[in-house]
Every structure is written in structure tokens, then in C-alpha cells.
Amino acid sequence: MFILSSPSGAGKTTISRMLLDRDGEINLSVSATTRPKRPGEVDGKHYHFVDQAEFDRMVEADEFYEWATVFGHCYGTPKAQIRSGLKEGRDYLFDIDWQGTQQLYQKDQQDVVRVFILPPSLDELQRRLTGRGTDSPEVIQARMERARAEISHWDGYDYVVVNDEVEACYDQVLAILHAERMKRARQTGLIGFVRGLMKD
């Protein structure tokens, strides 16, 4: 489970899309959410869009690895699909905040890799958020306050990358992913392969 976290506007969604486009071995963990669908979003691909009653039912039934309320909407990571995929040796990409990261890590430490993406500066972060043209000044101010709070949790991650330039940031994230895949414990079939070598 490969986690990318960052304050809103620091680039985790862009880097996530690049990874999904360029690396055929990783799948997006699709969260459930109560927030309304945005233009161009597809149910089941970008999010599982559910109403509050269904989300509450899923919480009660312990169907989430982690869940949180962000800006008045609930988000959660359903367990079933991820668990079956991990058993088959698939990698999953998580685009979640530090609270979700903590919850996921507490439930499954050995399968979790945590990467935090920082903006080059808070001024640049505000410029990016304003440049999107999707949020009011009040929402941007709230996102900036939340960004400061999220940045304070940088030391709860295995890796920290500064997104000064998107391609360079992507290259660093990809290098982390490749290195983590090469860890002995994650190489399925390695024991049999080595035993075969030793017999020869």
C-alpha cells in the first residue's frame, strides 16, 4: 500500500495520476465519499459516491481501513478490494491525508509505505490553489490553514519529497516505489528461486 500525502495543492493528485498512467503495476485505491461528484468524475473510478446513511452503515460494519471527515464530507478506504488485491501481489496507491495514513499504518504496518510531498513554499502553495480557479478566497484560506497543520506531521512518513518541479518530484517518487518493491520481503517467489539456484 503506497501512500502519497500532501497539503491540498502540493501535487499529490498530479503525481498520483502520473504514476497510474506510467506504471502498469499499481492500482488506485478508490475511496468512498459523501461529497458530490465533480464534472468528469466517474463513480467507481475516481470515488465510490455514497450518501451519508450508506457511509455510516459502512463505518458501523467496520468496512473501512480508515475514514475521516474533511471540509464537511466523509472519505473512507474500503477494505475488501484492497485485501484481495494484496493477496494476489498487486500494489495499491493511496491519495490520503496524515490521519488516514496513521490509521492505515496502525492496521497494516508491513505493507504500508508512506510518502509526504511538500510544496517548495507556502507562497507557491497559495499561488497554485488560487490558480485552480475552483475555490472561493474563504475556502483557499481554510485550505492554507489546513496545509500548515498537515505539514506539521511530515515526520510521520517514511519519505519526504519537495515538489519544486513536477517531473523531478515524480522521478523521486518512482524511485521510492521501485526500491520498496525490491525489498526482499516483498519479492514473491524469491525463496523458491534462490533454492533453485542453490540446487544447481
Output the CATH code of domain 2-192. 3.40.50.300
Taking only the tens place, the pLDDT of each residue in 86-144 is 888 889 999 888 888 998 999 888 889 999 999 999 999 999 889 888 888 999 999 89
The sheet with strand 113-118 has its strands ordered as: 26-28, 91-95, 2-5, 113-118, 159-162
Residue 86's pLDDT is 86
Return the domain boundaries, the chain.
Answer: 2-192
pTM as predicted:
0.83
DSSP-assigned letter for residue 185:
G
The dihedral of CA 125, 126, 130, 136: what is its sign?
positive
Residue 155's pLDDT is 95
Please classify residue 186 by burial: count the beta carbons closer than 10 Å to its beta carbon, then call 0-12 exposed, 13-18 middle and 19+ buried.
middle
Residue 161's pLDDT is 97
Residue 97's pLDDT is 86
How does strand 159-162 pair with strand 113-118?
parallel
DSSP-assigned letter for residue 191:
H
Residue 5's pLDDT is 95
